[in-house]
Amino acid sequence: MRRGWFLPIAAALGFSFLYAPIVSLVIFSFNESSLVTVWSGFSTKWYGELFRDPQLLGAAWLSLQIAALSASIALVLGTLAAIALVRFRRFRGRTLFAGMVSAPLVMPDVITGLSLLLLFVAMEGFLGWPQGRGMLTIVIAHATFCTAYVCVVVQSRLSDFDRSLEEAAMDLGASPVRTFFDITLPIIAPALVSGWLLGFTLSLDDLVIASFVSGPGSSTLPMVIFSKVRLGVSPDVNALASIIIGIVALGVLAATIIQLRTKPKNRQV
């Protein structure tokens, strides 16, 4: 097929559209002036400011804890769900189960947040648990939607690996549990790592659901950022954003390199 000039130019424009705002944000985070758009000299003072803001630091710490916890819960639940969906061809309620696993992927955040909050309030009324809302309720909410993402990632890895390895282990007398830990787990480990990381970043990023299910005194980082940003552009948010973008870029870069090294060439998601 004739290769025209249209596709490369369209792609170049598309990528600059994706990256220009991010790049300009990072550049302006080093701006000395508090007027964010006027360049008045290079400075790292906003980064320093960031580390002297106890509210921001507290929120960041809370968000990191929530993200780690919910990603870990989601890792276990999502992996189990993926095993059930890939390995158990038929069981009663499979359609319902598959639907419940994938629906959170597209459910609008406001509905997820509202529904979980109403559930927590109703449960507190009937069971007396969970008492009030805070970190625990946010973790439960995040673990629920992260489970869906972990499941998708693990599912794709599980469905394209050679089952004869497992069968060989079982033929040699290993119990299903032992086969899982000795054979299956090492093979799907890369998917588990990326599933956990995906859950971690999604939890760290969530504003809407956390706003619904959090309680007084448990503001996550996105909630603090949102309330700052709503009032206008603030240069310390630029610095914070640059740090987060830097960490994420390094993480994705590392993950891509690992995947390219370990995966056969023709595997693509």
Partner 1 sequence: MTTHDPTIPPPRRLKPWNAVERGLARVGITGRMLVLIAPLIWLLVFFLVPLAVVFGISLTSKQFGRPPYTPLLTSEEGTVQLTLHLNNYIRLFTDNLYVAAYLSSIRIAAIATIITLLVGYPMAYAIARAPDRWRNILLMLVVLPFFTSFLLRVYALTGFMRGNGVINQFLGLFGIEPIVMMQTDFAVYVGIVYTYLPFMILPLYTTLVKLDVSLFEASADLGARPIHTFLFVTLPLSLPGIIAGSMLVFIPAIGEFVIPSLLGGPETLMIGRVLWDEFFSATNWPRASAVAVAMLLVVVVPIMLLQRAQGAVVEK
Q: Which of residues 42-71 bind partner 1 (CB under 8 A)?
A: none
Among 68, 135, 174, 193, binds partner 1 (CB under 8 A): 174
Q: Residue 127 or 164: which CB sits closer to partner 1?
A: 127
Phi, psi (rounded to 5 degrees) for 13:
-65, -45
Q: Between residues 48 and 94, which has the closer beta carbon with respect to partner 1?
A: 94
Q: Which residue, among 128, 1, 150, has the nearest Cα to 76 in the 3D structure?
A: 150
Closest CA to 118 of 104, 133, 101, 108: 133
The single residue among 109, 130, 161, 193 that binds partner 1, judged by CB under 8 A, is 109
Check binding of 84 to partner 1 (CB under 8 A).
yes
Burial of 247 (0-12, 13-18, 19+ CB in 10 A): exposed
Q: What is the 3-state secondary structure (H, E, C) of 109-140?
A: HHHHHHHHHHHHHHHHHHHCCCCCCCHHHHHH
What is the three-class DSSP state of 149?
helix
Q: What torsion do the CA atoms of 99, 103, 104, 106 make, to the nearest 10 degrees?
A: 160
Part of the chain binding partner 1 (CB under 8 A), chosen from 40-48, 128-136, 160-168, 236-244? 236-244
Q: Is 108 a residue that touches partner 1 (CB under 8 A)?
A: yes
The verdict on 176 binding partner 1 (CB under 8 A) reads yes
Smallest separation, CB 247 to partner 1 (Å): 10
HSE-up of residue 50 (Cα within 13 Å, Cβ side): 21
Residue 95 lies near partner 1 (rule: CB under 8 A) = no
> According to CB under 8 A, which one of 62, 71, 222, 236 is a site residue for partner 1?
222
The DSSP symbol for 216 reads T
Of positions 32, 72, 104, 215, contacts partner 1 by CB under 8 A: 104
208 lies in the site for partner 1, by CB under 8 A: yes
Query: Does 250 participate in binding partner 1 (rule CB under 8 A)?
Result: no
With binding defined as CB under 8 A, does residue 135 bind partner 1?
no
Task: Give the burial string for 218-232 (b: 16+ CB within 10 Å, else e).
Answer: bbbbbbbbbebeeee
- When asked if residue 146 is in the footprint of partner 1 (CB under 8 A), the reply is no
Q: How many residues bind partner 1 (CB under 8 A)?
A: 93
Residue 90 as a binder of partner 1 (CB under 8 A): the answer is no
